[in-house]
Structure 1
Amino acid sequence: MKGNMNNMMKQMQKMQKKMMQAQDELHEMSFEASAGGGMVTITANGKKEITDIAIKEEVVDPDDIEMLQDLIIAATNDVLKQIDDKTNQQMGQFTKGLNMPGMF
């Protein structure tokens, strides 16, 4: 019985190390999304930190600030969804089959 427990602990440690490596890889990834046919482009890393915002000059209209705001929101939500999807895909392999609510 003690041998089984030691073996299981080693497997858990190995899985934890793989999870940390996968999480580090995710954090280093770059994600990009655009809205308005490329008028607004948002870039973020896997930590959900916005690293760049590119706005084409022709979309900046002082009389229509709401449109620009909507484009920024749409591109930001899209890039955050991409990060969530990639995180679920990459980290989900570790929680597959485990009934653990709140895990990825």
Structure 2
Amino acid sequence: MQGLLQQAQQMQQQYAEAQAELASAKVEGSAGGGLVKAVVTGDNTLVSVKIDPSVVDADDIETLEDLVVAAIHAAGTEARKLAEKKLGALTQGLGGLGDSLGLPGF
């Protein structure tokens, strides 16, 4: 029983460390062939959006809006992939628990 408790504490520490790494990691998503780029952290916090001036057209704001949304979505996808990579091995050790807790990697 003591060994199980130690193993759980070790997994908890590893999970906290992985979450801290994710919070500081940055990933990028882009749209329009790189004309719009979004950067998010590994825990999916939007950090920045860069827009190439050539895509700015006052008569076509809708296209720019669509590109911004697409870039943010792409960055979020990259953040989820990173989270699954970093946290997946840890959450697999939880059996079916990780999925019910909404943890990535399942």
TM-score (structure 1 length as normaliser):
0.89
In the comparison of the two structures, how many residue pairs are matched? 100
User: What SS does structure 2 have at the residue aligned with 1:61?
Assistant: coil
Aligned-pair distance for 1:103?
A: 2.7
**Tell me, which stretches of 5 or more residues in structure 2 are unaligned?**
none
1:44 maps to amino acid = V
Cα shift readout 1:16-42 (whole Å, capped 9, x = no counterpart): 111111111111101111111111111
Q: Is the radius of gyration larger for structure 1 or structure 2?
A: 1
Match of 2:47 in 1: 51
Alignment map for 1:1-104 (pairs within 5 Å): 5-96=1-92, 98-100=95-97, 101=100, 102-104=102-104
Deviation at 1:88, TM superposition (A): 1.5
Moved over 3 A (4+): none
TM-score of the two chains, using structure 2 as the length reference: 0.88
Q: Write the deviation string for residues 57-89 of structure 1: whole angstroms up to 9, x where unpaired.
A: 110001111100110011000000111111112
- Identity value in percent: 34
State how far apart, in whole Å, the 1-side matches of 2:31 and 2:65 are: 11
Q: Which runs of 5+ in 1 are unaligned?
A: none
Looking at structure 1, the residues matched to 65 and 34 of structure 2 have their Cα atoms a distance apart, in angstroms, of 14
- Whether the 8 Å contact between 2:36 and 2:52 is mirrored in structure 1 is yes
RMSD: 1.2
